[in-house]
Chain A
Amino acid sequence: MVENIHDQSQLDRLGQLGRKLRREQRLLSCFRLRTNYDLLIGAAVLGALIVLAFIGPLLSPYDPLEMKVLDRLKPPSAAHWLGTDEFGRDLLTRVLHGARLSLGIGITVTLLTSLLGLIIGVYAAFYKPLDHILMRICDGLIAFPGILLAIALMATLGASASNVIIALTIVFTPSIARTIRSTALVVREQPYIEAIRAQGATNARIIWLHIAPNALSPLLVQAAFVFAEAILSEAALSFLGAGIPAPAPSWGNILQASKSVISKAWWMVTFPGIALVLSVLSLNMLGDGLRDFLDPRSKRKGKGSRRVRRVAP
């Protein structure tokens, strides 16, 4: 009943087919990407901000920390495109350096919370006793208003950029862990997990190769929002004086300094504000776009999937 399929030509043919299908799928992803405007615009704006943050300071002739008393509070001009601050520092240079700090903190916090949240969430979902302990700790942390918890942590840890990262990671991890856990709980009860177990898979294999990948898409979406929130929170902490210490040019610091001169120098509050709004907005769009992109239902309904099916003989 089984014909000979061990000969090489057959296998080659199937190998080719596999490659062709994978190519089709890539095309299909591109197609779906092209129509997902949230994702495209979000990614483009965020990408532009990141590029600016890294090459901008190199092009600027000014030092973000050097004070020039004569140039205090100059409005935007050809020399200082965005004007200067109360110590005569070039605002554009400071905003660009601030982008490095703020986006850098945002990315680091996002990566750390995602990793920790994934580990905690997946293990909590898989091992009942662990679940009780981990989730009570998370509940405790979530019970505090996030920004107050961050301030309290900063007060004990001391003001520095790395402590901001630690504090924000502690603040955001519980909610990510909870999201992952609830998804993982659903996945864990799926018959295909039991089917894998019936084949003799180890727990580690089940957790990392089957439960975690299925919990990944909500994680990605959530991560984009955490990124946005981390940037905002860093700004808020710095604005309140509990974040990055003063001369360093974070967006929060610039905004805080602008507070006292807001009636004299509108540019000092406007431009870092715009930078902040732009990055948070783009991240939110990115998050929404990702959600649409990763939703398996849209995958099934999409026009492209039919095309793939027709290609396969």
Chain B
Amino acid sequence: MSQMSPASEKSRTSQMSRSGQKDRTALLDVRGLTTRFATERGPVTAVDGISFAMEPGEIIGIVGESGCGKSVMSQSIIRLLDYTDHVSYEGEVWLSGEELLRLSPSRMRKVRGNRVSMVFQDPLTSLDPLYPIGDQIAESLRQHRRLSRKEAQARALELLRMTGIPSPEQRIKEYPHQLSGGMQQRVMIAIALACEPQLLIADEPTTALDVTIQAQILELIVELNRRLGMGVLFITHDLGVVSEICTSVKVMYLGQIVEEMTTARLFANPLHPYTQGLIRSIPRLDGDRRRKLHVIEGTVPSLADRPEGCKFVTRCPYADAKCRSEEPPLETAEEGHRLKCWYYREIRSGAREATQYGE
């Protein structure tokens, strides 16, 4: 990564200063985002009134199990679901002063891949097998930046070099299947970065990769984030990854953010029972391996039958009648630490004991 050409170094600096001017307004401001799908069983709410803001240069981790709506949320932000049937959005998504949910489809296309880019979990299926990777990187440059074929190829080469692919001059002519998983993911990142986006949405970008390769990719993302000053929305189920690269974390459950805080607090002082359970159920390299692992009883309910009241009520060891009937608000427990739970104070002080399943 150190072998960056001087030319690209310059373009980076200009990008930095550009995003630097916008520091006063948030890079991304999501207000009450709700995504519903119409199904034969009636509307299903996949994302339920999510609000958060993100400053340039931040890496925000979105954590949750499968079915908690984290992917749908990220896809809603850049309206990738427009092409799915029966989807409806509510709320507002402001990207540096522009509201995305009300943009016309053609204006939206100018945002996607240009100001906001996305990296997906499975790099092989996200790349078109018919074209050499160089062409695929060049494509968005030609579309959004109106570069000539030659300029675009030159820039593609530069991007490949930046992502740390060895001998990029040869690789640029290769097809996706000729590359290994880690290399493919680097290509995906190169494509995502082609137009110097303000925001990168990474949806489980390292889940399909081996740990040693994952380490390389994480290092790359963090380095690019620091150098380019772009915001990264990092979606993952791996709390270890979050703790290494994210500045703050949002824990999602059944379409809602149930707790949000800085990464340091996530592990030191999680307050929501779901977050606590999640953290304790992971086998840890430094934990006592002779003890039983903590278990969150039951499974995530399907989106079609979300419980009334608190969404975690079906699996929560502390739940009572109030939790079943009334949904707790997103409360501020401390500066920068908010959560949805009626009893977090009591749980923290030990006044409230796990009733049903606790150890």
Binding site for B on A (CB under 8 A): 301, 303, 306
Contacts and interface: CB of A to CB of B under 8 A. Distances in A.
A310 to B, nearest CB: 11
Contacts of A301: 40
A306 B41 CA distance: 10
Interface in B13-43: 40-41
Nearest to A302: B40
A250 B41 CA distance: 53
Contacts of A303: 40
Nearest to B304: A306
Contacts of A306: 41
B90 to A, nearest CB: 27
B303 to A, nearest CB: 15
Nearest to A306: B41
A303 B42 CA distance: 13
Interface string B87-111: 0000000000000000000000000
A301 B40 CA distance: 9
B313 to A, nearest CB: 21
A253 B40 CA distance: 53
A220 B227 CA distance: 62
3 contacts: A301-B40, A303-B40, A306-B41
Nearest to B41: A306
Bin chain B's interface residue count: under 10
A228 to B, nearest CB: 34
A242 to B, nearest CB: 48
A306 B42 CA distance: 14
Nearest to A303: B40
Contacts of B41: 306
Nearest to B39: A301
Q: Closest 3 interchain pairs by CB?
A: A303-B40, A301-B40, A306-B41
Interface string B165-196: 00000000000000000000000000000000
A32 to B, nearest CB: 15
A301 B41 CA distance: 11
B84 to A, nearest CB: 16
A303 B41 CA distance: 9
A306 B40 CA distance: 12
A91 B88 CA distance: 64
B299 to A, nearest CB: 15
B40 to A, nearest CB: 7
A301 B39 CA distance: 11
Interface in B253-294: none
Contacts of B40: 301, 303
Nearest to A301: B40
A303 B40 CA distance: 9
Interface string B40-57: 110000000000000000
A312 to B, nearest CB: 16
A142 B333 CA distance: 74
B236 to A, nearest CB: 27
B170 to A, nearest CB: 34
A307 to B, nearest CB: 12
A236 B40 CA distance: 47
B191 to A, nearest CB: 32
Interface string B205-235: 0000000000000000000000000000000
B183 to A, nearest CB: 27
B52 to A, nearest CB: 35
A27 to B, nearest CB: 19
A191 B40 CA distance: 32
A293 B40 CA distance: 19
A134 to B, nearest CB: 31
A126 to B, nearest CB: 29
A147 to B, nearest CB: 39
B179 to A, nearest CB: 25
A195 B166 CA distance: 41
A305 to B, nearest CB: 12
A18 B255 CA distance: 37
A302 to B, nearest CB: 10
B42 to A, nearest CB: 13
A4 B144 CA distance: 70
A72 B330 CA distance: 94
B44 to A, nearest CB: 14
A237 to B, nearest CB: 46
B350 to A, nearest CB: 31
A292 to B, nearest CB: 16
A34 B167 CA distance: 63
A306 B305 CA distance: 13
